Amino acid sequence: MQEELFQTNPVTKYASFSHPDLINRCTVMEEEMARLVRENYQLRKVELTDSQIKLMLEEQLGELQHAQFGASSEKYKKSDKPKPEPKDPKPRVKKPSERYPNVPVREVRIDTNPTPNCGCCGQVMSDSGMTEDSEQLTVIPKKYEIIRQQRVKYCCDNCHGDLQTAKTPPRIVEGSTYSDEMILDVALSKYCDLIPIERYVAMAGRSGIMDIPPQSLIGCTHYLADFFVTVYLRLKSGVLGSRVLLADETPHRMLEGSEKKSWYLWGFSTADVCYFEIHDTRSGDVVSEILKYSKCEVLLTDVYSGYGRSVRECNPKRKAMGLPEIKNGHCNAHSRRYLFKARVSYKEAFWYLDQYVEIYRLNELAKGKPAEEVLQIRGEMRPYFEAMRDRAIQDLEKTPEKGKLAKALKYFLENYEGLTLFLTDPEVPIDNNGQERLLRSPVVGRKTWYGTHSERGAKTAAVLFSIVESCKLNDVNPREYFPHAVAQILAKQEPITPAEFKAHREAPS
């Protein structure tokens, strides 16, 4: 019977079970889960009472039920929130030429052949000079061409003693069979659009360009990363020079080429710069190297111990060098997330979520305001935090120690100073969501191409993701920025960063 319980059954099979059969299966399942939980904690040398085990099982079953049938979003609305006001009538749908004014318009004249006859008198009709116009957005499929360069050779008509050939224009990879445009398209398809190289090759094959060697295209991305190392180092300088720094990390799998398979992509960001480093460790030493000589005064992260240790180790050294000490700011989104998970089993969590609704409402009002107004609005958040702190102290005394609510309340109370640091500093965000969003593309990419095959590939990912995500952070189209930066580097100029590109683009002519 127990062996059958843990076999995966199609949903339609449960419809054939009788009510007593379902009760019997659930009873045996809960008894088996309780035994496993008890044995697990006994191995950890932790004694649990039957009531604690029952509570933990109810939480786990609630989590499983929510994961299976509940919404994946963490959106939450207060129950007493007023209904939104009715929206204005739906506006007129814009024509494609109005919606995309920068797209060229090609006019196609449509006539009738032969010319129609009048429906009233039967005579042949003539062109009235009027037209009925409609618009439709179309696409021209990607077009591949082969560029055959013909470099002119010059000879001397006088002595015939010299022969000179026109110089080759500078390129990203000298002598490559791929043009600069092709190299950029391959790299941005992977690191901006998250298309694996093998899929890019397959797409090219469907357009008639068969059997492009994937390894040669991967090599092109490595050369491009080396080509853009100046921009990459300038992004690092931007991070080191920032007063407020956001940081987070995510696993990165090394498929081959290294003894360690588990690497980590470390992300550091400011308001307009994103910078990634990739290492074969999750040690806080990575953060220490960034913080040691930086101008950072506030490091906003989750509560991973590596960040706290780095700050503790760096502060004495920074103090000796005359640099300001670093404060740890913590992410309110993480605190709210623990409470959101606890709401499945604990109704008390809803009160705390309601407080966070008001806090984030005020945070929206503060966006884009001057520093003085930001501090004034954030001052209105403090009563909510203090009320949560006072109630959390009381609720923690009567909340089961091993429950999810207790975990959420401990997280809030133990990190209260870091969670409320942003109230007194207008430059510090309320949470670390900005940095987490910058990690989204690397995470999706990791799931798409599973990892990297060499240390060089990992470093290439760090360089190109840094530049691409910095473009997105500044609302800059990477396919506009990269050709511009390439032209600057080839002209022996210092390339501008995505933030500078944005400022240059928006500057009045």
Contacts for 338 with CB less than 8 Å, ≥ 6 apart: 404, 407, 408, 411, 412
Out of 11-15, 18-22, 345-349, 453-457, the most confident range is 453-457
| Listed range (84-98, 352-366, 489-503) with the worst mean pLDDT | 84-98
User: Would the pLDDT of 509 be above 70?
Assistant: no
Comparing CA positions, the residue from 3, 475, 450 lying closest to residue 251 is 450
Give the percent of the chain with pLDDT over 90.
48
* Residue 109 one-letter amino acid: R
> In whole angstroms, what separates CA 499 from the centre of its chain?
18
| Listed range (57-71, 114-128, 271-285) with the worst mean pLDDT | 57-71
Give the percent of the chain with pLDDT over 70.
87
Greatest Cα-to-Cα distance within the chain, rounded to the nearest angstrom: 108
Return the bridge partners of 164, or none.
154
Averaged pLDDT for residues 370-385: 93
In this prediction, residue 377 carries a pLDDT of 93
Rounded mean pLDDT of the chain?
Answer: 86
In this prediction, residue 284 carries a pLDDT of 87
In this prediction, residue 473 carries a pLDDT of 94
User: Would the pLDDT of 342 be above 80?
Assistant: yes
CB atoms within 10 A of CB 333: 18
In this prediction, residue 2 carries a pLDDT of 46
- Strand pairing report for 298-301 and 327-330: parallel
* Token code pair at residue 155: 């000879």
Give strand ranges (E) for 162-273.
163-165, 244-253, 262-269
Averaged pLDDT for residues 207-230: 94
Question: 413-452, pLDDT tens digit by residue?
Answer: 999 999 999 999 999 999 999 999 999 999 998 888 888 8
| Listed range (4-13, 51-60, 341-350) with the worst mean pLDDT | 4-13
| Listed range (70-79, 136-145, 385-394, 439-448) with the worst mean pLDDT | 70-79
* Cβ–Cβ under 8 Å, residues 425 and 298: yes
Out of 54-63, 66-75, 390-399, the most confident range is 390-399
* Cβ–Cβ under 8 Å, residues 424 and 375: yes
Comparing CA positions, the residue from 250, 255, 235, 230 lying closest to residue 486 is 230
CB atoms within 10 A of CB 403: 18
Q: Please, which pLDDT band fits residue 5 given cuts at 50, 70 and 90?
A: very low
User: Would the pLDDT of 12 be above 60?
Assistant: no
| Listed range (60-64, 67-71, 142-146, 378-382) with the worst mean pLDDT | 67-71
* Cβ–Cβ under 8 Å, residues 220 and 186: yes
In this prediction, residue 344 carries a pLDDT of 83
Question: 169-180, pLDDT tens digit by residue?
Answer: 999 999 899 999
- CA distance linking residue 268 with residue 275, whole number of Å: 5
Averaged pLDDT for residues 250-257: 86
Averaged pLDDT for residues 131-142: 86
Place of tokens 């204005």: 88
In this prediction, residue 1 carries a pLDDT of 45
User: Would the pLDDT of 9 be above 60?
Assistant: no
Q: pTM for the full model?
A: 0.81
How many degrees, rounded to 5, is the angle at CA 390 between CA 388 and CA 396? 90
In this prediction, residue 270 carries a pLDDT of 93
Question: 168-211, pLDDT tens digit by residue?
Answer: 899 999 989 999 999 999 999 999 999 999 999 999 999 889 98
User: Would the pLDDT of 59 be above 80?
Assistant: no
Averaged pLDDT for residues 8-15: 55
Comparing CA positions, the residue from 94, 189, 185, 103 lying closest to residue 138 is 103
Written in H, E and C, the secondary structure of 91-127 is CCCCCHHHHCCCCCCCCCCCCCCCCCECCCCCCECCC
* Cβ–Cβ under 8 Å, residues 470 and 499: yes
Q: Please, which pLDDT band fits residue 133 given cuts at 50, 70 and 90?
A: confident
Comparing CA positions, the residue from 293, 506, 330, 319 lying closest to residue 411 is 330
Secondary structure of the chain: what % helix, strand, coil (to 5)?
50, 10, 40
